[in-house]
Amino acid sequence: MIEIRDLTKAYGERRVVDGLTFRVAAGRVTGFLGPNGAGKSTTLRMALGLDRPTSGTALVDGLPYARLTEPLRRVGALLDAQAVHGGRTAAGHLSWIAASHRLPARRVDEVLALVGLSDAAGRRIRTFSLGMRQRLGIAAALLGDPAALLLDEPVNGLDAEGIRWIRTLLRRLADEGRAVLVSSHLMAEMARTADHLVVIGRGRLLADTSTADFLAENGRRRVRVRAVDPAGLAALLAEAHPEAVPLGDGAWDVPDADPGELGALAASRRVVLIELSVTHDSLEEAFMRMTADAVEYRAVTA
Amino acid sequence: MSATTFPLRAEWAKFTTLRSLWTTPLLAVALSAGITAVVQFSYGKTDTSLTEDPMEGVFYGLNFGQVAVVCLGILLVGQEYASGTLATSLAAVPDRVRFFRGKLLLGAGLGLAVGVLSVAGQLAATEASVGLDLSAPGTARALAAGMLYHPLLLVLCLSLTTVLRNQTAALGLLSPMVFLGTTALSAIPGVRDVAQFLPDRAGLYAMRLHDAPDVHYGHTTGLLLAAAWTALAVAAGLRTLRRRDA
């Protein structure tokens, strides 16, 4: 299990990670979400002992990463799939990582097979696509058969088949009892993959919740309603739901309404409805709403 | 303590899986021995600058071979910064003292191997062409210094690259310093008094047979001077590695 406790990283006055606390539990996929520049990568780098926290701690099974005896057996990490030497072959790259822990050579073949790169084992990495590099990075993370995985944006550069593959893989790794943390800036993707969500913005914790709860709270329900007599409906909504928004074709969008109540209300006023449907906010919208104040770089709309 | 990681094994595997790394020491030996052979066979008996101090002729190729040694020292660390593999390396061996020790051991080992082989090659070429009196006073010392100069120079460059944390900067700083700078500086009378204390000048002086009147230290002290520079660089490299974020 990985435990982040009151973790802070400051560069001068700028706090990239600001008092972050959460845990990555075994047996589930935790999605680590935030807009670009939210501090996800810095958090992962501190968890791996690469960057020193300004304050706070990041512990793996109760110990700082640097004090683990065989770190690659505890934590497998993919930080940047491009951070490989293009002159090495895929097998060569994995073999030096394996050598650091005296892992058997067959382990290199095993993880290459696991990520579907067996045929490319002898090819130089510089000929690899980004998708292949992501697979190689995941292979490297799995080398030590670790109890926990930290993957930074592993979906980047993968095609549809690759994304489905990684979704299945993450599920399986969690089902095997591992703690899996996957960072992403894509809300919808994470909602499909993760059991639990940790959302940060500007280095601060915005949400730490199960995916189901997050969907229930943030996938805001809206009712779309249309009537035979648009004027009658407009009058009714003006009175009961002033927040309703006309959609142009005589239909109205009513946020946070209950379809049953709305239908009953229309019936009591003898307004004949020809459409009454429930939609949910897209998760991407919920995510943007949540992180709206925490987005670091935003284009200004003139 | 992460006592169950194997940094030297990892470093050796990194070295053997990258062609640009493992070809460099071979190039160093080939350059040193090859150029000495060409020069000795062509001018060894006629050029007085080569016969005046016989070691000048023996180690003629070393001036070129050391270029590859400097490059190897820079590459062993610099390619990790340039490619970004340092994060993976430190994730595998998080104890930075152990990590650096692995780098130093590999660097010193490779340097010594290059030193022994290239001195042997240069010696053989000299024996076969102009011949060399091995019993002459100072010869054994000069040859030993020639061998030891390689690991010292390699570890110096490796450590300074660790301080600079940048392969390009290291190449830009070290190559002109070792191959142009100190030679050029030594040509300026006033500066020469100071430049002779630089690591490569001191190390190369330890390989000479005869005393130079304007050098303020002895041959053995020259080698110790070079070693002191290397020790200083190692300390600075370790300090950088321990203090800075990777």
| Gap between the Cα atoms of B221 and A26, Å rounded | 60
> What are the residues whose beta carbons fall under 8 Å from the beta carbon of A182, sequence distance 6 or more?
A29, A30, A31, A32, A151, A154, A170, A190, A193, A194
Picking from B9, B156, B167, B158, the residue whose alpha carbon sits closest to that of residue B85 is: B167
- From chain B, the residues in CB contact with A71 under 8 A are 2, 5, 91-92, 94
pLDDT digits 0-9 by tens, B44-69: 888 877 778 899 999 999 999 999 99
Asked if the C-beta of A93 comes within 8 angstroms of chain B's C-beta atoms, the answer is yes
Order of strands across the sheet that contains A273-280: A245-246, A251-255, A221-227, A273-280
Q: Please, which pLDDT band fits residue A299 given cuts at 50, 70 and 90?
A: low
Q: Please, which pLDDT band fits residue B93 given cuts at 50, 70 and 90?
A: very high
- From chain B, the residues in CB contact with A86 under 8 A are 83
Q: What is the structure's pLDDT at A126?
A: 97
Question: Is A87 in contact with B20 (Cβ distance < 8 A)?
Answer: yes
- From chain B, the residues in CB contact with A101 under 8 A are 4-6, 92
Q: Which of B13, B87, B93 lies at the smallest CB-CB distance from A79? A: B87
Q: Please, which pLDDT band fits residue B1 given cuts at 50, 70 and 90?
A: very low
Residue of higher predicted confidence among A90 and A1: A90
Which of B6, B81, B83, B88 is the best residue to mutate to test the A interface, defined by the most A CB atoms within 10 Å of its own CB?
B88
pLDDT digits 0-9 by tens, A111-167: 999 999 999 999 999 999 999 999 999 999 999 999 999 999 999 888 899 999 999
Helix (H, G, I), strand (E, B) or coil at A154: coil
Question: Is B91 in contact with A89 (Cβ distance < 8 A)?
Answer: no
Asked if the C-beta of A84 comes within 8 angstroms of chain B's C-beta atoms, the answer is yes
Helix (H, G, I), strand (E, B) or coil at A246: strand
Q: What is the structure's pLDDT at B44?
A: 82
Residue B2 reports pLDDT greater than 60: no
Query: B189: distance to nearest CA of chain A, Å?
Result: 46
**CATH for A221-280, among 3.30.420, 3.30.70, 1.10.1660, 3.40.50?**
3.30.70
- Please state the domain extents for chain A: 2-208, 221-280
Question: Is B18 in contact with A85 (Cβ distance < 8 A)?
Answer: yes
Q: What is the structure's pLDDT at A264?
A: 92
For B230-245, b/e burial (b = at least 16 CB within 10 A) is: beebbeebbebbeeee
Q: What is the structure's pLDDT at A172?
A: 96
| Gap between the Cα atoms of A124 and A136, Å rounded | 12
> What are the residues whose beta carbons fall under 8 Å from the beta carbon of A218, sequence distance 6 or more?
A281, A283, A286, A287, A289, A290
pLDDT digits 0-9 by tens, A44-53: 999 999 999 9
Q: What is the structure's pLDDT at A30?
A: 97
Question: Is A99 in contact with B91 (Cβ distance < 8 A)?
Answer: no
Output the average pLDDT for chain B: 92
Output the average pLDDT for chain A: 91
Residue B109 reports pLDDT greater than 70: yes
Q: What is the structure's pLDDT at B182?
A: 67
User: What's the Cα-to-Cα distance from B158 to each of A80, B20, B40, rounded to whole Å?
Assistant: 25, 16, 32
C-beta separation of B201 from B153 below 8 A? no
Q: Which residues of B touch A (CB under 8 A)?
A: 1-7, 9-10, 12-14, 17-20, 79, 83-85, 87-95, 245-246
| Gap between the Cα atoms of B18 and A86, Å rounded | 9
Angle of helix B96-129 relative to helix B62-83, nearest 10 degrees? 160
Picking from A149, A102, A157, the residue whose alpha carbon sits closest to that of residue A133 is: A157
pLDDT digits 0-9 by tens, B139-168: 999 999 999 999 999 999 999 999 999 999
Q: What is the structure's pLDDT at A296?
A: 56
- Other beta carbons within 10 angstroms of residue B131's beta carbon come to 12
CATH no. of A2-208: 3.40.50.300
Say how many CA atoms lie within 13 Å of A294 toward its Cβ.
25
Q: Please, which pLDDT band fits residue B195 given cuts at 50, 70 and 90?
A: confident
Q: What is the structure's pLDDT at A111?
A: 98
Q: What is the structure's pLDDT at A289?
A: 78
Size of interface A-B (CB pairs under 8 A): 102
> What are the residues whose beta carbons fall under 8 Å from the beta carbon of A55, sequence distance 6 or more?
A6, A7, A8
Residue B105 reports pLDDT greater than 50: yes
**For chain B, what percent of residues have pLDDT higher than 90?**
76
Mean local confidence (pLDDT), B107-113: 98
